[in-house]
Structure 1
Amino acid sequence: MLALVGLLALAGCSSSDSGSEMPSSNGAAAPFAPGEADRDLSAGGAKGDAGNGYTAVPPEGVTATGGPVETRSIIYRGDITVRVEKVGETAERLKALVETSGGFLGADKRTADSGEAQAWLTVRVPAKQFSSVLEQIAKLGTEVGRNTNTEDVTEAVVDLDTRIAAQKASVDSVRRMFAQAKQLSEVVLLEKELSSRQAELASLEAKKRNLDNLVTLSTINVVLIGPHAPAPEPPKKKAPGFLGGLEAGWDAFLTTVQVVLAVLGFLLPFLVALSIPAGLLIWWSRRRRPTPPPTA
């Protein structure tokens, strides 16, 4: 039994150690194309010597230093507001545009189609089509405002891949020990440990799928407003430092006061209704109190 616990601890340590290291394939030098490294240089100079008229060019996907080209994982997000003549018709055109680009409509909220109509749509498009689709949306009417931002999640993706690989190896290790277990106590312990590690693996894989989805499909929030609808106000930026903290504290104070007043407003009718019978009860109890005899 003690040996089994030691093996489990060893398996956990090895998985955590492997999770802190990068895969060896990321740091290995990629060789040049066959034949290029051994090409005969008639002048006898070193490989890559420009004086011999020959420069070693690495194959596609390899950097000049010999390491593989790292593919960055970028999440693109955008917000755009466009003023249009007919909100309903433009929303349908936007939907067709997004579907043509290989994306889909994620959310669609609209008001009555009039001069002050508005529509709020969230679209998901392939990352490679992000800029193109954004420009096409701007051409559906008159652009009022735009905001785009990117987030580099390459390190998070690499970290998740490494942790998933280590966790899979850990699960396989426990499975092998589970298959060889003979005593009931060992089976119970290994079954619990296997369930825990499988749950952790499923959680890591779910995070990886969500991250891959955000990288593969960019998000664009689109606001379509009618010809007479007021333009939405841009979000207010918080002041940095002390002023920002003071503003946040003041906003919290006002929110607290509003909550307290709302609670008092809710309780006031009940307090008034209860005060009437309470007052009558106090008056009646005083009336029944015996009157002390007069003093001589």
Structure 2
Amino acid sequence: MKTLLAAVPLVIASSLTHAADCGTVTIAEMNWASAEFAANLDKIILEEGYGCSVELIPGSTVTSFASMESKGQPDIAPELWANAFFDRIDAAVEKGDIVRGPRLITDAAEGWFISKAIADAHPEIKTVQDVLDNPQLFPSKEDPNVGQFMTCPAGWACQIASNNLAKPSAYDFGKHNFTVVDPGSAAGLDGSIAKSYDREEAWFGYYWQPTVPITKYELKKLDFGVEFDKKHWDECLVNETCAEPQKSDYTPSDVMTVVVSKFANAHPEEMKYLNTRSYDSNMAGQVIVYMDDNQANGEDGAYFFLKNFEDVWTQWVPADVAEKVKASL
């Protein structure tokens, strides 16, 4: 009994030392569902598994990264959509201020999609050109003899790119008897997808994954039939003044974790976890659909993931860390 009691302080001391070593960690909780889930997932695993004290900092892509650049806080941005930030990220990495992790969402993507009803009824339709060759399958509400493409609401960058790709020098919607429709708002875009699913109707338009509509309504992503041309994309397709847009695949979506170097250098064990974890759009989609259906927050989504994808996340951490996290559920 004396031996057993003597060992207890050692265990407690070891645990406290580990927590002290980790200290306080600040994590950017950005303002969309998948990022809220990602931030809370890291919070739970770092707190319960590694003994950290985690503070979530509300933010967005622009403000959170700017703060990391200038102030070295927050320590971690779990889900940074890096497409518009590559130059700044590269510069920060070169200066030694930032460490860039691997992809968090392995197959995150923007592009053009079709509805489940069309994908099921016409499995031969796999590319943008396949759609354009069949305008009768995507009738406009105003004129059933014309095919309809649902673009992004005004003010979204994706509207510029999609409109350019529709022009005569690119995919030439006019020649193929297609019209471009502005949904008016994000709610209008989402509503058009939901309605097409409920009515088992055709839908063709822009969206991105992981999102609730992609997972919930089972949209199918189209192949653009050509490679992505970064130079042309940057110099022409994302500019309203682009005179002669050419065909191109949609820009790849690089969704990564970014960590300030001071934290990364001081936390090698925690960085092993951050550099190992990843999941695909289907997994993330199931989480955010759960959040949407149940009016749940990011913390609820994180617990849903931990309980339903144990075979995935337990591969990201050592066995003893996994057991601590499981014990907390």
The bucket for the TM-score relative to the shorter chain is under 0.3
| Structure 2 length-normalised TM | 0.20
Higher Cα Rg, which structure: 1
